[in-house]
Structure 1
Amino acid sequence: MQVHKIDTFAGHRDCVYTLDAGASSTEFFSAGADGLVVRWQLDKPDLGSLLARIPASVYALAFDPERKQLWVGQNYDGIHIIDPIQKQEVRSAQITPAAIFDIKISEGTAWIALSDGVLVVMDVAEFVVKKHLKVSDKSARAIAINPKTREVAVGYSDNGIRIFDQDGLTLKYVIPAHTNSVFTVQYSPDGRYLLSAGRDAHLKIWDVTDRYRPKNDIAAHLFAINHICYSPDGALFATGSMDKAIKVWDAETFRLLKVIDRARHAGHGTSVNKLLWSPYQHQLISASDDRLISVWEITR
């Protein structure tokens, strides 16, 4: 496996916490502690476009491909909907005074994870709250949706994962998953596995087809794992950590294939917070506390 650093996008003034893909394979969005929401183009790397200035940290972005609108979770001030083309806010809702840690949109429904442990379910078209799901007093940190089983996995700061029914909005399973906060959950593209990780630096694999039976437990990083993402073809996945490293894994065998760090590849100097694997030339995008966004070409 070969790794080549394509570019570095600079422009954020503080830690970059979140990324999401846009309407095309070359477009993506970023936000973080500086409150700046930026649109980038992988084929025009020096032309970042400022979409909004949010007066607080932004931990969560979610692009709605149907309406081509960007959902922004503002720390302590609810949801803001931005039109990336017009660079205008089109809607907002103070759904919570809590911090918003994750947003996922699927089939006209937005799932929103809050720092007070509430999982908010919103109707995207009507822009109204359908339900509040409260199953923990600790923060809901990360959301993953499995379209194959129509289940929603949510990782919490009480070390557990809850599995909800996507249609009935009911709790199906409680998994005592980790020894510390769960920061990231991700279903494999084929829906067979749920991957989870967090502050305990362990990568865990759960067998979805067998009621989430534990399949593997890997001491994957030195410090907290902040994010997991799959490659577009589903053959690989990557983990980003507080230990400053990105690791690339074989999705079938869960074998470590490559470590991307500062010493070997001029990687990030501080915590890697978010990853996004674009179908555009198979490029992997990483965001860090060092205020930078790096773009990596990975070939096998």
Structure 2
Amino acid sequence: MPSYVQVERIDTFGGHRDSVFALINAAQSDHFYSAGADGQVADWDATRPDLGTLVARIPASVYALTRDPASGLLWVGQNYEGIQFIDPDGKQVMGSLKLTTGPIFDIQLYQQTAFVALGDGVVVVIDVPTRAIRKHLKASDQSARCIAINPVEREVAVGYSDNQIRIFDLLTFDLKRVLSGPANSVFTVAYSPDFRHLLAGGRDAHLRAWEVEAGYQPSHDIVAHLYALNHLAYSPDGRWLATVSMDKTIKLWNADTLQLRKVIDRARHGGHSTSVNRVLWLSETHFATASDDRTVMLWQVIG
């Protein structure tokens, strides 16, 4: 593996009027969706940043966004009230689900089950086809911030603002174990593509890893950023791990060794001017980042 990794900024997508918090893939491989504090949900063509399309305008900030591949509907979590279901092609609201009067921080789908992380500490389990609530998982009085699913071990990892990561059974929803996470709120959790590792980051700026098959034995604790580590994501081929931070930087790591390979910032790469909130891999070599500076940027990894 070469010691030098080159990253180039390909495009900047402007149009949001406030911080951008959410990025997800679309059905088309060269498209993606974004949403944020302005309540706008936008559809972007990665090859044409000037052709962004407004899909929906939500009357609240949007922190959580996902797409149901079966129906094609977007699940949009508002920062009060609940979830709206949007047809992105017809740009129509196809229904809503009242869940909470507080924020929704994450929505993750697995087969016909949805897991929704709420600001009051509850994780709501929903049957996707009927939208019926199956279970309320209440394991903390502080916010449930992020969710990751491991279908191999049949587990769901949830990060909370009480510094803990709780592992639930994917089928019975029973609480199986509690991990000590960051020294402050857990903002992001992810399983590696082979599901052998769980990674997490949060307000304390550390990148932490656990060995899943060894009973979640801690394996890494890295001071990854200067300020809060907001989100992390693996590339589709499992080669790269990207982390983004309140310190305005994007960092690329070797996914296997967690060796830092590249720091992407404004001075050297024309990066974001404020907190970077989200990262989304569009392919093995291209990823997008979203920021408080109201923009989404597209990047290419070379080498």
Pick the TM interval, shorter chain. Answer: over 0.9
Match among 18, 30, 35 for residue 34 of structure 2: 30
Q: Distance in 2 between matches of 1:210 and 1:177?
A: 17
Native 8 Å contact 1:22 1:65 kept in 2: no
Give the corresponding residue for 1:62.
Answer: 66
- Give, as a single letter, the amino acid of the residue that structure 2 aligns with 1:231: S
Aligned-partner SS, 2:17: coil
Q: Distance in 1 between matches of 2:48 and 2:202?
A: 34
Q: 1:24-103, aligned counterparts within 5 Å?
A: 24-103=28-107
Runs of 4+ in 1 over 6 A off after TM superposition: none
Aligned counterpart, 1:272: 276
Query: What residue is the counterpart of 1:289 in the other structure?
Result: 292
Deviation at 1:156, TM superposition (A): 0.2
Tell me if structure 2 keeps the 8 A contact 1:100–1:113: yes
1:20-75 per-residue CA deviation (whole Å, 9 max, x = no partner) reads: 11112111111111010111111222111101111110000001111111000011
2: CA distance between counterparts of 1:8 and 1:215?
36
Q: State how 1:146-225 maps to structure 2 within 5 Å.
A: 146-225=150-229
Residues paired across the two proteins, number = 299
Per the alignment, residue 135 of structure 1 pairs with: 139
Task: Give CA-to-partner distance per residue, 1:93-149, whole Å, 9 cap, x none.
Answer: 111112100000111111000000000000000011100000000000000111211
Return the letter of the residue paired with 2:48. K
Alpha-carbon distance in 2 for matches of 1:249, 1:176: 23
The letter for the 2-side match of 1:287 is A
CA distance in 2, matches of 1:112, 1:272: 23
2:153, 2:68 → 1: CA distance? 21
Deviations 1:212-234 (A, max 9, x none): 11001000000000000011101
Distance across 2 between alignment mates of 1:140 and 1:160: 10
Unaligned runs of 5+ in 1: none
* Structure 2 residue identity aligned to 1:138: Q
TM-score of the two chains, using structure 2 as the length reference:
0.97
Secondary structure, aligned partner of 2:213: helix
Secondary structure of 1:163's aligned partner: strand
Unaligned runs of 5+ in 2: none
User: RMSD in angstroms over aligned alpha carbons?
Assistant: 0.8
